Amino acid sequence: MHPIKERALRELQERIDNSPEKIDNWKLYAGSPMYFYCKLCEGTIVVPENWITKNDYCEPCTMIKEFGFLNDDEEIGPIDIGVINKPKELEK
């Protein structure tokens, strides 16, 4: 496996293993940024309160998806290194 792919997947595993504590947006004050979570690693995606669009993936996972590590079902794709523990939402 190419070292860049291996590193990207290893870092993905680290993000999955160290998911941040989730924030309830409804408990925040008006005008506070909104918090969403990456579909793949559950990393935090922060957008302003008046957001119109947001990414479904954090920046590192967006790059992984763009490089073709994920298939259309948002599962770990053609690269199988055998150490990725998918978030509960992705398990079938």
Domain ranges of the chain: 3-78
Written as six digits, the tokens of 84 are: 């990725």
The pLDDT of residue 23 is 94
Q: What is the pLDDT of residues 23-68, one digit of tens each?
A: 999 999 999 999 999 999 999 999 998 888 888 999 999 988 888 8
> Going by C-beta distance under 8 Å and a sequence separation of 6 or more, which residues neighbour residue 54?
36, 45, 47
Q: What is the pLDDT of residues 13-25, one digit of tens each?
A: 999 999 899 999 9
Residue type, 52: I
Whole-prediction pTM? 0.68
pLDDT band at 83 (very low <50, low <70, confident <90, very high): very low
Kindly write down the DSSP assignment for every residue of 12-80, as one continuous string.
HHHHHHTPPPP--GGGSPTTPPEEEE-TTT--EEEE-TT-S---SS-HHHHHHHHTT-B-TTSSB-S--
